[in-house]
Structure 1
Amino acid sequence: MASTPPVCDFGWPAVDAPLRGTDGKSHSLFDQAGPNGLVIAFICNHCPYVKAVIQRIVRDAADLKKEGIGFVAVNSNDADAYPDDSFDKMKLFAAEHRFTFPYLHDEDQSVARAYGAACTPDFFGFNNDLTLQYRGRLDASRKEAGPPGLRRDLYEAMKQVARTGDGPVEQITSIGCSIKWKETA
């Protein structure tokens, strides 16, 4: 089921958390920040929206690093109900797509809840003060990758953040599969 996150809540402070990465190490979210900011991307392995753009995500993460923007991906889906999102499958997914950034497992879903993540992919772009400046889409792709040459919304917004500290006022929200929440008693 497709889900759309709310619009950007400018100035909202990032929340730090240590999470286990596919490299077997614990990573602090804040340690992933570059001198000009940080993107936290909530993704998963099985979502068709993520699969359609994963190579573009990897490309944009590498290009944003050149702009001084750090990048980290977080999988918060319930792996018991969605085995394709298990930690072992995360390792395979990261290797297959040659991630150059940490892919972290939010097993108890506390990070997704703290951020109000709504879908995969869901992008949170922070400036160097780690206040939210972007909560929009990667580009105009949906369940299929859009044509080459699409405006790179996330990349362009975060380049602006790197230069000015502020994100664009006009943002188009991401769309994707809903976060697969664990059932609570």
Structure 2
Amino acid sequence: MAVTPPVCDFGWKAPDFKLGGTDGRVYTLEDVRGPNGTLIMFICNHCPYVLAVLDRILRDAEALQAAGIGIAAISSNDAEAYPEDSFINMVRMAKEKGFSFPYLYDESQEVARAYDAACTPDFFGFNAQGELQYRGRLDASGRQAGPADARRELFEAMMQVAETGVGPAEQIPSMGCSIKWKDSA
């Protein structure tokens, strides 16, 4: 089922976290913070929305990192119900695709709840002060990749954040598969 997250809550502060990465290291928000801003992405291995744009995410991530934006991707899905999203499969995907950023496992789902993540992909773009400035989509893609020349909305917004500290006033929310929450029994 497709889910759309709420609009950007400008100025909301990024919650800290401590999560293991596919590279064997443990990361906090401070570890991934960039001098010109930080992008936290909630993704997963199996979501068709993520898979449709993964190459674009990787392209834009490298360019944003070069501009001083720190980046991390977090998978919070219930891996028991969705084995494709297991940590072992996360390690495999990160290696196969050559992720230039940490890919972190939120097994407890506490970080997804702290961020109020709604879907995959869900993008949280913060300025250098850790204030939310972007909660929009990557581009016009959906379950299939949009046109090759689609406007790079996330990239443009984060470059604006890097340069001015402020995100665009107009943002189109991301759309994707819902976070696969564990049963709370």
Residue of structure 2 equivalent to 1:54:
54
Matched length: 185
Residue of structure 2 equivalent to 1:90:
90
1:150 positional shift: 0.7
Tell me the alpha carbon deviations over residues 128-179 of structure 1, each in whole angstroms, 9 at most, x when there is no partner. Answer: 0001000000000011111111100000000000111000000000000000
Secondary structure, aligned partner of 1:177: strand
Secondary structure, aligned partner of 2:95: helix
1:34 positional shift: 1.0
1:118 positional shift: 0.1
Residue of structure 1 equivalent to 2:141:
141
Secondary structure, aligned partner of 2:74: strand
1:111 positional shift: 0.3
The CA distance in 2 between the partners of 1:27 and 1:92, in whole Å, is 19
Residue 104 (structure 1) aligned with residue 104 (structure 2): yes
**TM-score normalised by L of structure 2:** 0.99
1:127 positional shift: 0.1
1:85 positional shift: 0.3
Secondary structure, aligned partner of 1:155: helix
The CA distance in 2 between the partners of 1:97 and 1:139, in whole Å, is 20
Secondary structure, aligned partner of 1:36: coil
1:29 positional shift: 2.1
Secondary structure, aligned partner of 1:23: coil
Residue of structure 1 equivalent to 2:132:
132
Amino acid at match of 2:179: I
1:67 positional shift: 1.3
Name the % identity: 65
The CA distance in 2 between the partners of 1:34 and 1:69, in whole Å, is 5
The CA distance in 1 between the partners of 2:163 and 2:151, in whole Å, is 19
The CA distance in 2 between the partners of 1:29 and 1:78, in whole Å, is 22
Residue of structure 1 equivalent to 2:79:
79
Counterparts of 1:5-20 in structure 2 under 5 Å?
5-20=5-20
The CA distance in 1 between the partners of 2:30 and 2:7, in whole Å, is 23
Tell me the alpha carbon deviations over residues 16-41 of structure 1, each in whole angstroms, 9 at most, x when there is no partner. Answer: 11100001111112211110000000
Secondary structure, aligned partner of 1:81: coil
Structure 1: where are the runs of 5+ without partners? none
The CA distance in 2 between the partners of 1:30 and 1:17, in whole Å, is 9
Amino acid at match of 1:171: Q
Structure 2: where are the runs of 5+ without partners? none
Amino acid at match of 2:106: D
